[in-house]
């Protein structure tokens, strides 16, 4: 339980309250902690490349409409 932060700069990214079980080996979240927690750019249809909103460290992807509920995204 707690806050997940960027490994490079310590910027707050996600809350454990937004974490859920997913088949991927990485932690999955439904939302970011703050509006400026991450930066996003289109990588391909249905997937955005996600980086730290403060330092730009690569964090993975946001998969659109792949969350635990219909219409939710998965980080």
pLDDT, one tens digit per residue, over 3-29 is 999 999 999 999 999 999 988 888 999
- pLDDT the model gives residue 55: 98
Q: How far apart are CA 70 and CA 74, in angstroms?
A: 11
Return the CATH architecture of domain 3-63.
Beta Complex (2.170)
- The two tokens of residue 73 are 């995204």
Is the pTM above the cut of 0.95? no
Identify the burial level of 45 via C-beta atoms within 10 angstroms of its C-beta, where 0-12 means exposed, 13-18 middle and 19 or more buried.
Answer: exposed
């Amino acid at each position: 339980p707690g806050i997940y932060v960027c490994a490079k700069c310590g910027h707050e990214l996600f809350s454990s309250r937004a974490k859920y079980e997913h088949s991927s080996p990485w932690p999955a979240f439904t939302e970011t902690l703050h509006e400026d927690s991450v930066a996003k750019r289109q990588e391909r249809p249905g997937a955005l490349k996600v980086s730290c909103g403060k330092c730009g460290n690569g964090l993975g992807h946001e998969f659109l409409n792949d969350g635990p509920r219909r219409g939710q995204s998965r980080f």
